[in-house]
C-alpha cells in the first residue's frame, strides 16, 4: 500500500472511530440516564417500579425507530454515498442529544416532560439507525482486504469509547449529592455533546467517498430502489445479519442498562458502582474489540463471531452469580468479562462480516436494515423484558440469565447458517448475489462471483 493510501486509511479510521465514539456517547448517555435519572424526575413519583418501567420504555422507543432510520438513510447511502449520510446522521443525533439537556422535569411541566423526552429519543434513534452501518461500510470498503476485519472494528471501538465516556461521566456525577445530581448536574454531558459533535463533523468532512461506491457511480450501477433490490435478492443475507445481531445487542443492553438499575434497586448498592463497572468493561473492550477484528482476518468471521455468541451463552449465569455477590469487584468482573470478551468478539467482527454479505449496490441498506431490525427487538425489548422477568420472580436474576442464553443461541444458529466471506474483494462485489438465478445448493459460494472465487 502506498504512503498516500496509508494516510487515507488513517483518515478513514479516524473518521469512523471518532464519529462513532461521539455519536454513541450521545446514545449511551440516554441509556445510563434512563436507569439513574429519568425514572426519578421525568415521570410521576410514588411508584418506583412503574417509573423505572416507563424510563426503560422510552429507551426502547429509540430502538424501535432505528429500523426506520436504517431504511431511510440506508437507501440514501446507496444512492448518494456513504460520507454524506454519515455527516447527516452526526448532526441529527448531536442536535437531539444536546436538546435533551434542556428538557424540564415532570415537576415543572407535567406530562410535557416525558413527551419532549420521547420526541428527542425518537430523533436520536432515527439517526442511530444508520450510524454504525455507515461507519462500518466506510471502513470495510476503504481497508485493504487482508486487514479489513481489523479496520472495520474501529466503529465498534468507537462504540466503547462512547460507552466509556458516558459511563465515566455519570460515575463522576453520581458522587455529587443526590439533589445536585438530579437537580442540574445530569444535564452537563448532554449539553457538552454539542462541542464533541463539532469535532467529529470536522473530521468526517475531510474524508473521501469509498472506491466501491465511486465504482458504482462511474459504471452507472447505483440502484434506483436499493430497498426493493435488497428484499428481492438478499433475503438470506438479511436473515443472517438479523439473527447474528440478536446476542450482541440484546445481551450488551441487558448488562449495560438493566444491571445498573438492578444493583441499585434490588441489591441496594451505590448508584456509582454500575457506571464504574461499565466504564471498566468499556475500557477493556476498546482493546479486545480490534483484537477480535484482527483475529477474524486470520481465522475467518464465522469462527470469531461464533466464539462470542457461545461465550455469552455460557457466561450468562456466572455473570449474575458474580453480580449477586453484592460486591464492587464482583460487578466489575462480571461486566468486564461479559462485555469485554463475549460482546466484544461479536462487535469487533460484525463490521466486516455484515459488510461482506451484501453487494455494493445494496450494502448500506442491507447492513443497516438487518442490523437495526434485530437491535430494535433484542436491544430495545431485552432491558424492558429483564425488568419484568426479574420483578415477576421477586427480584431474582435467573430469568434474566435465561433470557441472555436464549438470545445467544439465536445468534449461534444464525452464524452457523452463514458462509465465510473474509476473502472478498469489495470493490469487485457490485452485483447482487442472486443476479444469476440458481438455487443455494447449486451456488458454491453464494456471495462470491466467479471472478472473486479466482481472486480468493
Q: Which domains does the chain have, with CATH numbers?
A: 11-446 (1.20.1250.20)
Q: Are 174 and 181 in contact (CB under 8 A)?
A: yes
- The confidence score (pLDDT) of residue 46 equals 60
pLDDT band for position 391 (50/70/90)? confident
What tens digit of pLDDT does each residue of 281-296 get? 989 999 999 999 999 9
3-state secondary structure the chain: CCHHHHHHHHHHHHHHHHHHHHHHHHHHHHHHHHHHHHHHHCCCCCCHHHHHHHHHHHHHHHHHCHHHHHHHHHHHHHHHCHHHHHHHHHHHHHHHHHHHCCCCCHHHHCCHHHHHHHHHHHHHHHHHHHHHHHHHHHHHHHCCHHHHHHHHCHHHHHHHHHHHHHHHHHHHHCCCCHHHHHHCHHHHHHHHHHHHHHHHHHHHHCCCCCHHHHHHHHCCCCCCCHHHHHHHHCHHHHHHHHHHHHHHHHHHHHHHHHHHHHHHHCCCCCCCHHHHHHHHHHHHHHHHHHHHHHHHHHHCHHHHHHHHHHHHHHHHHHHHHHHCCCCHHHHHHHHHHHHHHHHHHHHHHHHHHHHHCCCHHHHHHHHHHHHHHHHHHHHHHHHHHHHHHHHHCCCCCHHHHHHHHHHHHHHHHHHHCCCCCCCCCCCCCCCCCCCCCCCHHHCCCCCCCHHHHHHC
pLDDT band for position 48 (50/70/90)? low
Which one is predicted more confidently, 79 or 59?
Answer: 79
- The confidence score (pLDDT) of residue 108 equals 87
**What gap in Å lies between CA 178 and CA 296, rounded to an integer?**
45
Which one is predicted more confidently, 305 or 121?
Answer: 305
pLDDT band for position 405 (50/70/90)? very high
What are 308's three cell numbers? 462470542
Q: Are 369 and 230 in contact (CB under 8 A)?
A: yes
pLDDT band for position 354 (50/70/90)? very high
pLDDT band for position 451 (50/70/90)? very low
Range of lowest pLDDT (56-60, 179-183, 231-235, 384-388): 56-60
Q: Which of 385, 282, 269, 386 is nearest to 331 (CA)?
A: 269
- The confidence score (pLDDT) of residue 51 equals 67
Average pLDDT of span 363-379: 89
**pTM for the full predicted model:** 0.81
- The confidence score (pLDDT) of residue 431 equals 53
What tens digit of pLDDT does each residue of 134-181 get? 889 988 888 888 899 999 999 999 888 887 888 788 878 888 888 898
Q: What are phi and psi of 389, to 5 degrees?
A: -60, -45
- The confidence score (pLDDT) of residue 289 equals 96
Mean pLDDT, all residues of the chain: 84
Residue 127 has pLDDT above 60, yes or no: yes
Residue 1 has pLDDT above 80, yes or no: no
Amino acid at each position: 500500500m502506498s504512503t498516500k493510501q496509508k494516510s487515507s486509511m488513517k483518515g478513514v479510521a479516524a473518521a469512523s472511530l471518532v464519529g462513532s465514539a461521539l455519536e454513541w456517547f450521545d446514545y449511551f448517555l440516554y441509556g445510563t440516564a434512563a436507569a439513574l435519572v429519568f425514572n426519578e424526575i421525568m415521570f410521576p413519583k410514588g411508584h418506583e417500579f412503574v417509573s423505572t418501567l416507563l424510563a426503560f420504555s422510552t429507551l426502547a422507543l429509540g430502538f424501535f425507530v432505528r429500523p426506520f432510520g436504517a431504511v431511510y438513510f440506508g437507501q440514501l447511502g446507496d444512492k448518494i454515498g456513504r460520507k454524506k449520510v454519515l455527516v447527516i446522521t452526526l448532526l441529527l443525533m448531536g442536535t437531539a442529544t444536546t436538546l435533551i439537556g434542556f428538557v424540564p422535569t415532570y415537576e415543572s411541566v407535567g406530562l410535557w416532560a416525558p413527551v419532549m423526552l420521547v420526541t428527542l429519543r425518537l430523533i436520536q434513534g432515527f439517526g442511530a439507525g444508520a450510524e454504525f452501518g455507515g461507519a462500518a461500510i466506510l471502513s470495510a470498503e476503504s481497508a485493504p482486504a487482508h486487514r479489513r476485519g481489523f479496520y472495520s472494528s474501529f466503529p465498534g471501538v468507537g462504540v466503547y469509547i462512547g460507552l466509556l465516556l458516558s459511563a465515566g461521566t455519570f460515575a463522576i456525577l453520581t458522587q455529587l449529592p443526590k439533589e445536585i445530581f438530579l437537580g442540574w448536574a445530569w444535564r452537563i454531558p448532554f449539553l457538552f455533546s454539542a462541542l464533541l459533535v463539532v469535532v467529529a463533523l470536522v473530521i468526517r468532512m475531510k474524508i473521501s467517498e469509498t472506491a466501491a461506491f465511486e465504482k458504482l457511480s462511474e459504471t452507472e450501477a447505483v440502484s434506483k430502489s436499493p430497498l426493493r433490490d435488497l428484499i428481492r435478492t438478499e433475503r438470506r443475507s438479511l436473515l443472517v445479519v438479523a439473527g447474528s445481531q440478536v446476542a450482541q445487542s440484546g445481551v450488551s443492553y441487558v448488562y449495560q442498562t438493566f444491571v445498573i438499575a438492578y444493583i441499585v434497586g434490588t441489591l441496594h448498592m451505590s448508584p456509582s458502582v454500575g457506571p464504574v463497572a461499565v466504564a471498566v468493561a468499556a475500557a477493556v473492550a476498546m482493546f479486545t474489540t480490534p483484537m477480535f477484528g484482527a483475529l477474524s482476518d486470520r481465522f475467518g468471521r464465522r469462527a470469531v463471531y461464533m466464539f462470542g455468541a457461545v461465550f455469552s451463552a455460557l457466561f450468562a449465569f456466572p455473570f449474575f452469580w458474580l453480580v449477586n455477590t453484592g460486591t464492587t469487584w464482583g460487578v466489575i468482573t462480571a461486566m468486564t468479562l461479559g462485555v469485554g470478551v463475549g460482546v466484544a468478539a461479536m462487535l469487533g467482527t460484525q463490521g466486516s462480516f455484515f459488510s461482506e454479505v451484501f453487494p455494493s449496490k445494496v450494502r448500506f441498506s442491507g447492513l443497516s436494515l438487518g442490523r437495526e431490525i434485530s437491535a430494535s427487538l433484542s436491544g430495545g425489548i431485552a432491558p424492558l423484558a429483564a425488568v419484568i422477568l426479574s420483578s415477576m420472580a421477586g427480584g431474582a436474576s435467573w430469568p434474566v440469565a435465561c433470557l441472555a442464553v436464549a438470545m445467544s443461541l439465536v445468534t449461534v444458529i444464525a452464524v452457523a447458517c452463514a458462509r465465510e466471506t473474509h476473502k472478498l474483494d469489495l470493490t469487485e462485489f457490485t452485483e447482487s448475489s442472486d443476479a444469476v438465478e440458481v438455487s443455494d445448493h447449486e451456488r458454491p459460494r453464494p456471495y462470491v462471483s466467479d471472478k472473486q472465487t479466482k481472486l480468493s
